[in-house]
Amino acid sequence: MKIFATIYPFIETDEQSYRIGRHVANYEFFKSLLTGSSFDEFHLFCLSVNHFNITKNRLLQESIPKAQKQKVRLFLYNHLIEQISSTEYHIFHLGGWGYFFPGLVYLRNKYAKNMFPITGLIHSLNGIETNYHALKICTAPLLPYDTIICSSKAGEKVVKKIFDHIGKNFTVPKAALPFNGGTKIIPLGINDSLLTVPDKSDSRNRLSLPGDAVVLLTLGRFSPQTKSDPYPLIKTFQRLTQNVSDRPVILVIAGGANDRQTNIVKQMISECGLENCVHLITNFATDIKPSIYGAADIYLSLSDNLQETFGISVIEAMAAGLPVVASDINGYSELVIHNQTGYKVPTLWADRFELAELADIMNFETMQLMLAQCMAVDTEELYKHLYELVNDNDLRASMGAKAKKAVENNYQWSNIIHKYEELWDSLFEQSVAYSGEIPVKENPFLNDYFNIFSLYPTSAINKENICAITRDGKDVLKTGQTPTPYANIGSLLNNKKILAILEYLSNKPYKVNELLSIDSLSIKENELIFTLLWMAKYSLIHIT
């Protein structure tokens, strides 16, 4: 049986999160995985009861064939060790590369029935926690077939530079600290449905945009820290409106924004006297997005910071048949073919910045803003390309058609998912053939709570402790109603076993080891210890 597994499935807990590129990409990947791969089962390990329920409900609501939904098995976090010990997994794939990857490597090497490959996908790489994640991965006992999947060549180069930096500056005796896994480039994709674009006239009516205008669109967060500074675009657009007189030109700025961010953009628009030709569409419902693309003639994405590694909005716009004018930076550079599917606008950055040495002790958003503010997009080139596109209908149509074709050939999830499965099949074959050492060691980033903090409590429970029922325990035994545990604790407790323990203790006190020897309880030592301490906490028993 071919089984796919993941920790913290690709279904987020916040509906609002589906506006964010990373979350959209992960969720669309997961839907395509369910419908387009050859796995017999999908095991999803959720990190909380709430997340378990949200994942379950979203799967029920999603228009995925019933037969595929029935292949999904949901687990809570506490079943992970049990499952990897008893199940032969084909692959564990993670929607990120830092948080769960290294910890899963330790657990696999120590407990797994088979040494399945582990893969994780990069997203943003500029975060303050990135080097910490890289250090954890470099110190983890990875096997050669464990792989970090990069969505772009730029992203892969940055990942390798980060590991090289860690290796040089965190050394072990006699050697640098290596990254023992591999990397692979597989792009992100879009849902095939985005290739069907709403009628332009209908889209403009829906958004109250003039039908005869040339509409420029930019879509993304209103954030100079994590997306782009809107001022260079607004100022360039002002110049464009002053030099294009034979047709109306409209700029649509769409995306997520809080009140402060919205007011800053409105102030920029007002300073340039563009209130009548710049439309803001903030925090729009997801079902409006196709109409926003459908209403546009030209798409702009002028990222000027380090946050992007790919550019989902760029390929969404290309899928809508729009020529794209994008800054020549990170993964954007690989998505736009200059002079064919659009234009790449040169960017200029510093080669050093003294305050960057303060990054580890200052507010990260402030540092991101500083780094972005010393990156300039060439506004002269931007103006030239926009002027050309605004004044040439045939050029827009030709570039837009080529952009759409590029997405059809390279960026549909229905095709990309096969690239993932080909990689996973290859890695699995490598794992089966691998005859090298399986390093098993303790995770140094895992806090050894019960050793380090052992001096805090008065004592620790042992097998010789005696358990006796209390008055509250007798009341519970009569009613059969145990105290309600917290949501994420309930999965660790078995109500029938709690009542069975109380039944035994109602006759006489028992030592812990005596309870362990009762076959009818059928309870493991760790489960019993946790259950007894919980019962003592809620005054159902007294332990001496």
DSSP-derived secondary structure letter, 92: E
Which amino acid, residue 280? Answer: L
Average pLDDT of span 482-495:
91
Amino acid symbol at 344:
K
pTM of the model: 0.90
DSSP 374: T
Distances (CA, A) of 284 to 222, 235, 287, 291, 386: 13, 25, 8, 11, 26
Taking only the tens place, the pLDDT of each residue in 208-227 is 999 999 999 999 989 998 88
* E strand or H helix that includes residue 218: strand 214-219
Cβ burial 326-343 (10 Å sphere, 16+ → b, else e): bbbbbbbbbbbeeeebbb
Q: Is the pLDDT of residue 362 over 60?
A: yes
Q: What is the dihedral of CA 263, 267, 270, 275, to 10 degrees?
A: -20
Residue 103: C-alpha distances to residues 80, 143, 295, 411, 446 (Å): 12, 13, 46, 31, 8
pLDDT in tens, 423-482: 999 999 999 999 999 999 989 888 888 888 999 999 999 999 999 999 999 999 999 999
CA distance 539 to 444: 36
As a whole number, mean pLDDT of residues 133-153 equals 95
CB 77 within 8 A of CB 43: no
Q: Which residues contact 170 (CB under 8 A, 6 or more apart)?
A: 135, 138, 177
**Average pLDDT taken over every residue of the chain:** 93
214-219 and 182-185: which strand pairing?
A: unpaired
CA–CA gap between residue 238 and residue 42 (Å, rounded)? 52
> What is the set of domains in the chain, with CATH numbers?
3-189+416-433 (3.40.50), 195-411 (3.40.50.2000), 452-543 (no CATH)
Q: 125: exposed, middle or buried (C-beta count within 10 Å: 0-12, 13-18, 19+)?
A: buried
Q: From its phi and psi, is residue 311 left (phi > 0), alpha (psi between -120 and 50) or beta?
A: left
How far, CA to CA in Å, does 98 sit from each of 94, 119, 132, 281?
A: 9, 11, 8, 34
